[in-house]
Amino acid sequence: EKIRDIPGLVDLKDNFVKGKPEIRVRVDKEKAALRGLDTYTIAYTVKAAVNGVKVGVYREGKDQYDILARLPEKDRKSIESLKRITVSGPKGEPIPLTSVAEASLATGVGAIQRLDQKRVVTVSGDVSGRLANDVIQEIESRLTRDFNWPRGYSYRFSGEQREQEKAQAFLSKAFVAAIFIILFILLAQFDSFAAPMIIMTSVLMSLIGVFFGLLVTGTAFGIIMTGIGVISLAGVVVNNAIVLIDYYKQLLSRGLSSREALVRAGLTRFRPVMLTAITTLLGLLPMATGVSFDFKKFAWDIGGESSQWWGPMAVAVIFGLGVATLLTLVVVPVLCSLELSLRQRLTTKSKAAP
CATH number of domain containing 75? 3.30.2090.10
Judge contact between 207 and 322, C-beta under 8 A: no
Instruction: Please check whether residues 144 and 288 belong to one and the same domain.
Output: no
Instruction: Please check whether residues 8 and 148 belong to one and the same domain.
Output: yes
Judge contact between 202 and 196, C-beta under 8 A: no
pLDDT at position 351 is 66
pLDDT at position 246 is 84
The CATH number of the domain holding residue 298 is 1.20.1640.10
Residue 321, judged by CB atoms within 10 A of its CB (0-12, 13-18, 19+), counts as buried
Domain that holds residue 77: 20-108
Instruction: Please check whether residues 182 and 296 belong to one and the same domain.
Output: yes
Question: CA nearest 328: which of 194, 195, 201?
Answer: 201
Instruction: Please check whether residues 218 and 330 belong to one and the same domain.
Output: yes
pLDDT at position 1 is 65
pLDDT at position 178 is 80
Structural domain total, the chain: 3
Q: Is 111 left (phi over 0), alpha (psi -120 to 50) or beta?
A: beta
Instruction: Please check whether residues 182 and 306 belong to one and the same domain.
Output: yes
Instruction: Please check whether residues 233 and 253 belong to one and the same domain.
Output: yes
The series of mean pLDDT values per 10 residues for the chain, 354 residues long, is 75 76 83 86 85 83 84 77 83 85 78 79 78 75 76 77 75 81 83 81 80 80 75 78 84 84 85 85 79 70 64 83 82 82 76 61
Instruction: Please check whether residues 227 and 346 belong to one and the same domain.
Output: yes
Instruction: Please check whether residues 290 and 179 belong to one and the same domain.
Output: yes
Which of 89, 123, 158 terminates a domain? The answer is 158
- DSSP class of 61: T
Judge contact between 323 and 209, C-beta under 8 A: yes
Element (H, E) at 337: helix 305-352
pLDDT at position 307 is 62
C-alpha 251/C-alpha 307 separation (Å) is: 45
Question: CA nearest 195: which of 230, 235, 231, 244?
Answer: 244
β-strand 291-294 against 53-60: which pairing, if any?
Answer: unpaired
Instruction: Please check whether residues 211 and 288 belong to one and the same domain.
Output: yes
pLDDT at position 124 is 79
Instruction: Please check whether residues 281 and 249 belong to one and the same domain.
Output: yes
pLDDT at position 199 is 81
Instruction: Please check whether residues 27 and 91 belong to one and the same domain.
Output: yes
Instruction: Please check whether residues 28 and 169 belong to one and the same domain.
Output: no
Which of 45, 79, 108 terminates a domain? The answer is 108
Judge contact between 328 and 241, C-beta under 8 A: yes
pLDDT at position 344 is 75
